[in-house]
Each structure stands twice: as structure tokens, then as C-alpha cells.
Amino acid sequence: MAAISGCSSGARDRLIDDPVDAPTSADDGEPSTSSGETDPTDADAPAAPGLRASVTYPFLLRHGSTDYFPTVFAHLLGQTLDWNDISTSLACFTLENPTDSPVDITIRVDLVGYSTPLKQSVTVAAKSTSSPCINPTPALDALYQLNSPIPGQVHATATSTGAASSLLDDVHPVTITTGETVFEGKQTSSGTNVPLYRDQAVLSMPKDPAVQALLAPAAQKSAWGTFGAGGYGMHLDAQKNPIPRLPVTRTVANGGFQFDVAYFTAGESMTLGLDAVTCASCSAPTTDFYVFNQTQFSQLSSSSQEGALADMPPAVVVALDSAPGRQFTITAPADGAYYFVFVNGAADGDARDVTYHRTGTQADTPIDALQSIYEELQSFGITYDSVAFSFFDPSSTESVRRPASVLTDRAANCIDGSMLFASVLEALQLEPVVVFVPGHAYVAVRNVPGAQLVWPVETTMLGTAPFVSALLEGIGEYQDPAISHLAEMDIKAARLAGLLPIPE
């Protein structure tokens, strides 16, 4: 994957001979942080000798020889972030006063045509330097409506009070990107590359109307029939007791078996209740019930059931001839998947319809959410868009689709689908993680808050495979030692660091 590099500062003391053609904006009504500032157009005296001013543009990112205004981060301008991957300061001035008296200098910055300019008066003490950073108010509606990158200008000035001429008048050309174009990394002044993978968490948009509209129909596909109040306790009652999943009926052929599966952590318990066992002609139908771990279950096959049951190690639970009304408490001796197996070994030759209900494990909650979202998105007929994944190259027309665009286009590449899933999972108050590997990305969700265990799903299989296949593919990718993880975008960590979603 080719890295997209940028830089954290623009030119100093730069005047543009041939400025980029961009809209202009009037100064009327522009905000000021000082009631005593003087408009430089009224100045009638030269600047004090020796005063100097320069400016850098830390917010801009560079690709090749072009400085980009990354609209995807525009809503963060002026915000305090705990991460220093990106700067939230558009313009940072250096104001030098070598004189024996304090000097008032008015600084101003504008993203021409796409912001409300900001002026601020700064008092620089005698024989000292001041380094203020200021930001205009970005016109987010206009910026986020851009359909393609456009040429623009950042205009910065610095003028000492009462001076006839500016200390600094810098018109800096930029390319203003769309709100769907982001960068893989930026280049620091020392030439090192700072990855920006985790900062793309701004693209998880849980409050997007298109995301919110998915919640109710997805909840109807839940094994509980609801997402409850959301979060990792969505399937607990007010007293924190587990709510049973909806009853399930499975037909078990004579001599065959059916199963359910859940992942447990060591010592975790759940209950399973046998509601009904029916058959065409038998008088007192029962079923044999087993709970197997992964190794035991792998030995079981429908073609040699009796031999497999006889030869395998003791099961976690063995309950022969179980009648309706039987309740089982299942406690896992170790972490792993456990299989609840109903076996029909009756001599009458009849099939059995077995109806049961069970509570969920911790893992059932995130897996159920993933499956419900997956199946709801499948109902839209979303297919994989096999556009080459070059990770956000602003010099191309490729961009990341917003949730509404994915649903409208009914197509998504790996990052589009991953960010859509992340948006819905975040809306459900779960903890999504987007995993970046060379040339690819997929989504996962933490088993419980802050857990190392995650459940990954391959979203590019939406149009071709059932959920269980996409889950197993994701697990295989995540655990494959041959596939290096470039980064993981932890949405909750990003929010705690101040990386807020793109506003709606």
C-alpha cells in the first residue's frame, strides 16, 4: 500500500505572485476577540522598526508539492485533542518584538470563501516573542457539500496597531478536499511519517440519519427480537439478569442431530430450557442433549453418530432422554466455543421437532449485533465494489462513501463497508474497531468494553455469503500471522481523545 505523506506546516512569510482563483469573502461582521483592535485599513503610520511576523499552517497536509485543506477534519479546528497526530490549528503566527515597548499586533486568518475570518489582537511584550494560533470558523455546510477537490487560499495577515503596512500578508494556495477524502499519514518536519489511520474515526457517524434508520429493522433480526437499551447490557433486565433469546425450533431427523453454539469465557454460565419435543406418532417424545467443546464437537458427524458419541471424551453435559420442561445450567470450564447438541436416537424412526430457549453469553451480544446488522444490510442488496484500495489518495477521485451513499449506491468497498458497520455499532453503544492490513480493511467489535477479544467480520462478503461465513473469514484474517496489522482504529479511544464524528 503506498503511503500518502503530508507535512505539518506551510510556507513562512510567503506572498503568492499568481494566487489560485478562489472565492473571496468580505470582512463585514467578522468576529474579533479584542474590542480595542484597529482595522488595518485605517492605519496611517509605518510599523515599528524591527517587528517581524511569520506564519505556518499546521492543519494542512501535503501530498507531493500540494498542500491540502483536509475537510474531513474541519469540524475539529480549534478543538483540544489528546492525540497529536493532527493539528487543529490552521494558522500559527510567530510575532517578534525586539523594541523596548510592548506592541499590539492584529492577526487575521481566513479560508477564503469557506470560513468566517477571525481577527485577534495580541500584545507582544518588549523584547519578546509571541506564538498565537488562531482558526477561522469553517463553513462546514459548504465544505461538506463539495463533490470534488477545489483550489483555494488561506489568507493570513499581521499588522501592528496604527501601522500603514502589514508586517505579514500571506496568501497560501491549497487544495480543499471533499469531506470524504482522508489521508493515510503525514510527514513531520524531520521527514518521519505519522500514520493517521486511527484519526479516520471521524468517519464513524452514529448520528447519521441513515444509520439511525437501520437500528429498528436490524433489531428485529436479533435473536432476542430487540436491542433493548443498547450497549453491552442490551440483553439484561433492570436487575441485570439475562433475558432469554427468542425460542428456537429445530427438526432433528431420526439418527441425526442439530446444534446451537456460543462462545464462553472460562467460568461463564448460561441456562437452556427445553420447551417442547414433538413428533408425528410417538407418545412421549424426548431428545438426547449434549454440550461439547470444540474438540469434542469436531469428532461428531451425522454419518457415524453412534460411534462418535461412544468414542469421544466425556461431554460437558450429557442428558439422555430429556423431556420438555428440563432446564440446564451450563458453565464453561475454559474459554472457547461450546456446542449444544440435540440428538435423535429414537428407535421409532420419527423426526423430532425440538423447541428450546437459552440465555446469552457475553459474546452473544456483539455477535448478535454484527449478525443483525449484516443481515439487514444484505436486504439492501449491497454488493462489494472492487475498486482498488489505495487508502485515500487525494490526487485521485476515490473517496470514502458516507453511510447514506452506501445505502443509496448499494455498493461498498472494504473501507466503506467497515465504516458503515462501525457507525451502526457505535450507535448501539458497542465498541467497534476497524482493522487495517496491507491493501484492505475490515471491522470488528470488542467482546466486552475494553476487551482484547474482538469479533471481526469480512464486510466485503455481504453480497455473496451468509453471516457465519463472513464471521469465520474475519476471524481467519485476524488470526493469520502472515497478515500484518498496519493499525487498528479504536472508535471509543478516538472519542475519548476528542476525535468527534463528522457532524450531520
Instruction: Please write the tens of the pLDDT for every residue from 315-343.
Output: 789 999 999 999 999 999 999 999 999 99
Helix (H, G, I), strand (E, B) or coil at 479: helix
Residue-number span of the structural domain to which 305 is assigned: 248-358
Q: Is residue 353 scored above 70 in pLDDT?
A: yes
Q: Are residues 382 and 339 in the same domain?
A: no
Cα–Cα distance, 83 to 404 (Å, whole number): 29
**Is residue 68 one of the residues assigned to a domain?**
yes
Average pLDDT, the chain: 86
What is the C-alpha to C-alpha distance for residues 300 and 257, in angstroms, rounded to an integer? Answer: 10
Cell of 330: 451450563
Q: Residue 343 sits in a domain of what CATH number?
A: 2.60.120.680
Q: What is the mean pLDDT of residues 70-79?
A: 96
Reported as a single tens digit per residue, the pLDDT across 197-212 is 999 999 999 999 999 9
Residue 207 CA to residue 241 CA, distance in Å, equals 29
Residue 183 is predicted with a pLDDT of 81
Residue 189 and residue 50 share a domain: yes
C-alpha cell at 280: 408425528
Q: What digits encode the pLDDT tens for the residues 432-480?
A: 999 999 888 999 999 999 999 999 999 999 999 999 999 999 999 999 9
Give the total number of structural domains in the chain: 3
Q: Is the model's pLDDT at 265 over the cut of 80? A: yes
Which stretches within 273-315 are classed as H helix?
A: 294-298, 305-311
Q: Which of 368, 291, 288 is nearest to 331 (CA)?
A: 291
CB within 8 A of 214, min separation 6: which ones? 373, 376, 377, 424
Cβ neighbours for 145, distance < 8 A, ≥ 6 positions apart: none
On whether both 316 and 387 belong to a single domain, the answer is no
What are the φ/ψ torsions at residue 186 (nearest 5 degrees)? Answer: -135, 155
Cα R_g (the chain), whole angstroms: 31
Predicted confidence (pLDDT) at residue 301 exceeds the cutoff of 50: yes
φ, ψ of residue 115 in degrees (nearest 5): -160, 165
State the angle between helix axes of 209-220 and 414-427 in degrees (0 to 180), rounded to the nearest 10: 70
Same domain, residue pair 187 and 54: yes
pLDDT of residue 82: 97
Specify the CATH number for the domain of residue 61: 2.60.40.10
With cut-offs at 50, 70 and 90, classify the pLDDT of residue 186. Answer: confident
472: in domain: yes
Q: pLDDT value at position 164?
A: 82
Asked if the structure places residue 424 within a domain, the reply is yes
Are 76 and 44 in a shared domain?
A: yes
Number of other residues whose CB lies within 10 A of the CB of residue 31: 11
Q: Which residue stretches of 167-225 are H helix?
A: 209-220
- Whether residues 111 and 64 share a domain: the answer is yes
Q: Indicate the SS3 state at residue 434.
A: strand
How many percent of the chain have pLDDT more than 70? 85
Asked if the structure places residue 66 within a domain, the reply is yes
Give me 466's grid cell.
451468509
Assigned domain for 295 exists: yes
Model pLDDT, residue 16: 26
Whether 89 and 179 map to the same domain: the answer is yes
Worst-scoring range by mean pLDDT, 23-32, 268-277, 402-411? 23-32
Quick check: 40 pLDDT over 60?
Answer: no
Q: Are residues 63 and 170 part of one domain? A: yes
Specify whether the CB–CB gap between 256 and 344 falls below 8 A.
yes
What average pLDDT does this structure show over 296-312?
63
**203 located within any domain:** no
The larger pLDDT score, comparing residue 17 to residue 402, is at 402
d(CA 339, CA 315): 10
Element (H, E) at 186: strand 185-187
- Report yes or no: 44 and 224 within 8 Å, Cβ to Cβ: no
- Average of pLDDT values for 105-124? 97
**pLDDT, average across residues 182-208:** 85
Taken as a whole, the chain contains a residue count of 504
* pTM (2 d.p.): 0.85
> Residue 52 falls within a domain, yes or no?
yes
* Residue 8 included in any domain: no
Give pLDDT tens digits for 6-39.
223 333 332 222 333 333 333 333 333 333 333 3
**82 DSSP 8-state letter:** S
